[in-house]
Chains A and B, each alone.
Chain A
């Protein structure tokens, strides 16, 4: 299983090896897929707290007098209205309306926006933003300056609070603050990709190993577990968060991907707006729907979906759900059928049709 090409590694690679993580090639990065087991890690996050190294994620920073104008122009959500210290989920689109990436926008200062982007997309995103930069703004790819850790789960706050003076309980969901964690400078955001409360912190690579170990120690009394990308995927799927390359890509628009809520048509011009308006008038070609398997089998991404005996769409993500203890998934279907849960569908698994039914999403929503 020797790697043919050199994989990129995060500064915590040696730590993952010491923890006996199973490492895999994830979009060119050697990342931990699991430590103790995907189901065990998944349950730790739902019940208590888990720690993830998500340093493969990229960071792009936009600075200058027109940083806000550029950020607003290249994203679908209303970046202009963000207050300093607020974060926002948004789309980066091509002018044809398909996704370049889905991103988190953080407003650090009037003239400074901090974007968290997908690992495999970062160079593409950076080139795309620079291409549309007709503003008095500087765009910089700064991924190498940050290690990103996610502390996720109902005990995430109590774990992280032991290591920081920042008032975490007072922070709203999708807000962030610049402070310290274990004595080292950190950007602390109340964000996540698991469907649980939690935090994502951006720290200096030189401090990463120490902070990782301090977090494991701080969370020990809660049974904290290091978690890999396997659990991250099952957690995000239960919460119905899109994953680039699955629910969204260059051929999919936010209107199709149940992400119209991040498109603000009335905010003024932005890249992709005209194409999306045309699509809105003409009607989307397809829409995302959730499903549960009725027959035996697990749908996987790429499986064909049949409606009334004819091919009608495809599975974007499919997995056993550790929380629901059912086999679940997301798929594209014609819009009228996608919007009405309870549709009987068949999913082709290894050339055999297996019964499934569409259901309302998300599959999992945490109790407030």
Chain B
């Protein structure tokens, strides 16, 4: 269910690092809890983000949820297709519907994040 090549936060974001750039999104558990996602608000490229601080919001029909940054650094790219197709977050949250790419300031930030097995156990226990 949860890909092994991603790391996971307690706030239900995932992150994948390639060459000092972290790609992040929300987890399948998060999209299921939210329900039909209808709006995504993301930072602008160039914005500074801090680990654990809000970097944007996702909204379902019913509720607004903040997205927290899994790491500190600078936003290099955002997934612009989500502005018109937010429902992709319900369909492919770990893949096509990534949210933001971040140039990491402190790659060690990610050490404390959960592995897939740990995250699976975490969402299992939360229910």
Contact = CB atoms under 8 A, between A and B. Distances in A.
Given A1-B126, A1-B127, A38 B61 contact: yes
Interface string A222-246: 0000000010011000000000000
A37 B36 contact: yes
B74 interface: no
Identify which of B60, B62, B127 gathers the most chain A CB atoms within 10 Å of its CB.
B62
A37 B64 contact: no
Given A34-B35, A297-B39, A320-B38, A39 B126 contact: no
A300 B127 contact: no
A38 B34 CA distance: 11
B77 interface: no
B39 A39 contact: no
A38 B35 contact: yes
Nearest to B33: A22
A243 to B, nearest CB: 13
A22 B61 contact: no
Interface string A276-309: 0000000000000000000011101000000000
Interface residues of A, number: 19
A320 B87 CA distance: 13
Contacts of B35: 22, 33-34, 37-38, 230
B57 interface: yes
Contacts of B59: 298
Interface in B1-53: 33, 35-36, 38-39, 41
A368 interface: no
Nearest to B38: A320
Interface string A2-40: 000000000000000000001000000000011001111
A34 B61 CA distance: 11
Contacts of B41: 297, 350
Interface residues on B, range: 10 to 19
A319 B39 contact: no
Nearest to B63: A300
Nearest to B32: A22
B63 to A, nearest CB: 9
A320 B94 CA distance: 25
Contact of B64 (A34, A38, A300): A300
A178 to B, nearest CB: 36
A39 B90 CA distance: 13
Contact of A298 (B33, B38, B83, B126): B38
A37 B60 CA distance: 10
A34 B35 CA distance: 8
Nearest to A40: B36
Contacts of B39: 296-298, 320
Nearest to A231: B61
Given A33-B62, A230-B62, A298-B59, A38 B36 contact: yes
Given A37-B36, A39-B36, A297-B39, A319 B127 contact: no
Contacts of B33: 22
Contacts of A39: 36, 61
Nearest to B64: A300
B27 to A, nearest CB: 16
Contacts of B64: 298, 300
Interface string A31-55: 0011001111000000000000000
Contacts of B57: 350
A195 to B, nearest CB: 17
11 contacts: A22-B35, A38-B62, A230-B62, A233-B62, A234-B61, A296-B83, A297-B41, A319-B61, A320-B38, A320-B39, A322-B61
Interface of A: 1, 22, 33-34, 37-40, 230, 233-234, 296-298, 300, 319-320, 322, 350
